[in-house]
Amino acid sequence: MADYEKEEELKATDRYYATSLVKTVGLYRRMAYTMAVVLAILLLTTFLPWTQNIRSRGVVTTFSPQDRPQTINATIPGRIEKWHVIEGQKVKKGDTIVSLSEVKDKFFDPQLLLRIQEQINAKKGSLDATNQKAKALQAQINALYDGREFKIRQARNKVLQAQLKNQSDSIDFVTEQVNYQIAIRQFDAQKRLYDQGLKSLTELEDRKQKLQLSQTKLVSAENKYLTSANELVNARIELNSINAEYLDKISKAESDLNSALGYVFETEGEIAKMINEYANLEIRSSFYQILAPQDGFLVKVLKAGIGETVKEQEAIATIIPLKPELAIELYVKPMDVPLLAKGRKVRLQFDGWPALVFSGWPNVSFGTFGGLVAVIDNIDSQGKYRILVKPDPDDPHPWPDLIRVGSGAFGWALLQDVPIWYELWRQLNGFPADFVNDLPLDHDNPSMKKESKEETAPKEE
C-alpha cells in the first residue's frame, strides 16, 4: 500500500514542468552564475561617475520686476463710462483700457480749465498794472531825490547870499557906528566953540543936523544888519526844513512802492499757484482715460460694469507683459546655499513637458533645459533661501515659448562628479555635497570670498 501511494505521488509531480526543473541540478548553477554576474555589474556600476546636485521645486517667474504681472490702478476717483478691451485681449502701450468720468462736484464744469486760464490772465493783467505803478513810484522817488538835491543846493546858495548880505550890513553898521561917534565928537566940539563964542548958532545947528543924520543912518544900518541876520537864520531854517520835507515825501513814496512790490510778489505767488492748479487739472483730465502701461495681455478685469464708481488708487485690471524675461524661482536648504554661486549651471524640468530625468547623469537626460544661477537671496524665506535661474545661452535647447508665468518647475544645480558608491555613502550619512570652486569669484557671495581667501592664504610650516 505504501509503495502504491509513493508511485502515485511521483506521477503527480512529473505532471508539472516547474517541479521537473527543480529536480535539475544544472539550474542551480545557472542561477548562481547569473547572480554573480548581476552582483559584479552592480559592484562595477558603483564606480561609475555621478554628478552631485541640489534639487528643488519652484515656479516660473520673471527676472525683471517690470515683466511680472501688475495691476492697473485708477489714479483718480471716477465713474466707469466705457470699457475698450476685453479679458485676454492683447494691448499695446498707451491703448485705452477704460474711460472714467468725474465724480467730484468741484470738477464738474467742462470749461474749468478755460475759467482758470481766464483768472490767470486777469491776475497777470493786475500784475502788469501793479508793476507799472511800481515803476512810476520808483521814478517819483528818483525825482524827489533829484528835487531835494536841487532844493538843498538852492537853499545853500540862499544861505550863502544871506551870509554875504549879513556881512555887508554888519560892515555898514560898524561904519555908521564910527560915523556916529565922529558926528558926536564934532557936535560936542562945535558946541564948546559955540559956548566960547567962536562959532555961530547956524554952524552949531548945522553940526547938530549932521549928528541927527548920522544917528538916522546908524539906526537904518542896524535895522538892515538885524534884518539880514534874520534872513540868514530863515535861510538856514529853510535848508533844514527842505531835508525834512523831502524825507517825508520820499518815505511816503517808498512806502507806496513797497506796498506795490508786496502786491506784486503776492500776485506772482497767486499766479504760480493758479498755474500749478491749471497744470494739475490738465494732468487730471488725462487720467479720465486709463491707459496700458506696456505691451501685454489683459488677463483679468477687477472692476466690471458701466456706471460703477472706483476709488482713488483702486485696482482696475491685471496685465501681464507681452514678452517677459522668464526666470525660475527655486528654494534651497540653508546648508546647500554655500555650494551655490552666480553662474552655477542648473538643469530644469517644466510641468507639462515630458522628460526622462537622470539627475546624476544630466547628459543622458531627455526633456530638460539648461539654466544659470542669477540671483541668490541674502535672507531666508520660511527656512529656505530663494534663487533665481535664468536661461543658459550656451544650452542647445532653448526654453519653450509656451511656458507661462506661475507654472511649476523642478531644477537641480550641478556640482561635483563623484563615484556612485561615494554618493550612496554620503546620502546614507546625511552629509552635504562636495564644495566646487570652479567659477570666478563672486563678489556678491560672502561664502565664495571666504573660501577664496582660505585657498590663497599661505600655509604655515
The whole-number pLDDT of residue 455 equals 39
49-66+324-454 domain in CATH 3.40.50.1100?
A: no
CA angle 445, 447, 452 (to 5 degrees): 100
Q: How many CB atoms neighbour CB 16 within 10 A?
A: 10
What pLDDT shows up at residue 422? 66
Please report, for the chain, the start and end positions of each structural domain, with discontinuous segments joined by +. Answer: 1-45, 49-66+324-454, 69-102+291-320, 112-286
SS3 379: strand
pLDDT tens-digit profile, the chain (461 residues): 555 555 555 555 555 555 555 555 556 677 778 888 888 787 776 666 666 667 788 899 888 888 888 888 888 888 888 888 888 888 998 889 899 888 887 888 788 888 888 888 998 898 899 899 889 989 988 988 888 888 888 888 888 888 888 888 888 888 888 888 888 888 788 788 777 877 777 777 787 788 788 888 888 888 888 888 888 888 888 888 888 888 888 888 889 889 888 988 998 899 999 899 888 888 888 888 889 888 888 888 888 778 888 888 888 888 888 888 889 899 888 877 877 888 888 888 888 777 666 555 566 566 688 888 888 888 887 788 898 999 988 888 888 888 888 888 888 777 666 666 766 776 676 666 655 555 544 444 444 444 443 433 433 33
Q: What is the DSSP string of 124-185?
A: HHHHHHHHHHHHHHHHHHHHHHHHHHHHHHHHHHHHHHHHHHHHHHHHHHHHHHHHHHHHHH
Residue 51: predicted pLDDT: 65
Task: Return d(Cα 144, Cα 157) in angstroms, integer.
Answer: 20
The candidate with the shortest Cα–Cα distance to 98, out of 319, 321, 323, 320, is: 319
| C-alpha cell belonging to residue 396 | 542647445
> Among 344, 335, 428, which Cα is nearest to 392's?
344
Please give the Cα distance from 432 to 52 (Å, whole number): 10
Note the pLDDT of residue 433: 64
68 three-state secondary structure: coil
Return the CATH number of 112-286, one of 2.60.40.420, 1.10.287.620, 1.10.10.10, 3.50.30.50: 1.10.287.620
CATH number of 69-102+291-320: 2.40.50.100
